Amino acid sequence: GAGVSQSPRYKVAKRGQDVALRCDPISGHVSLFWYQQALGQGPEFLTYFQNEAQLDKSGLPSDRFFAERPEGSVSTLKIQRTQQEDSAVYLCASSFGTVDYEQYFGPGTRLTVT
Amino acid sequence: AQSVTQLGSHVSVSEGALVLLRCNYSSSVPPYLFWYVQYPNQGLQLLLKYTTGATLVKGINGFEAEFKKSETSFHLTKPSAHMSDAAEYFCAVTFYNQGGKLIFGQGTELSVKP
């Protein structure tokens, strides 16, 4: 079956622009996670959904970052007024459950802010 | 604070040699531990995980890891390296009360020489 897909794969934005990154999880997966991976670093947690409920957004770096999953399936990560420090790969992962269930990762969206 | 440390950002081995990638965690509660592999321009793929039970866990592609509570370690090994093992490897940890949120190490790039 299809894995986790993300679009666009690459995004170049001018500083100050708003961007929207999409994640299509594996069908039936309850949990959805967003991570930010800076160049040469490990992924860092941003936020987590269980169905449509956003249960943890402690990793969002500022109020310019917003995520939603309105119908408990597709999720969108929105970044307003992008800054150069937002340049990174944004990874989405989904899982059937929570703690001890495997998270399946998408290929990521590489965001470059110029 | 809960954290993961991977010793060595770059490890180089010869084809057929032992692979040893080190991971230590810091936590006051029992951890769930994972190793992921990332190939260029791809998402992370789970190699193996430890949740409960047997402390020696076997994963895909001939990798295994042993959870040692006394040493707070979860080192990844493979008896004989293949060229196809060249990739970035990430150790990650989560806990029962974290909803599945993964805390990643900085990553170790494995190179395999012919």
pLDDT at A100: 66
In B, minimum Cα distance to A58 occurs at B101
Report CB contact under 8 Å: B32, A41.
no
User: What is the pLDDT averaged over residues A74-89?
Assistant: 98
Question: Model confidence over A1-12: pLDDT tens digits?
Answer: 589 999 999 999
In B, minimum Cα distance to A57 occurs at B101
Q: Is any Cβ of chain A less than 8 angstroms from the Cβ of B98?
A: yes
The CA distance from A17 to the nearest CA of chain B, in Å, is 25
Question: Model confidence over A20-49: pLDDT tens digits?
Answer: 999 999 999 999 999 999 998 999 999 999
Can you list the pairs that B56-65 forms with residues at least 24 positions away whose Cβ atoms lie under 8 Å? B59/B35, B61/B85, B63/B19, B63/B35, B65/B23, B65/B33, B65/B35
Counting as low any pLDDT under 70, the low residues of chain B are none
pLDDT at A102: 85
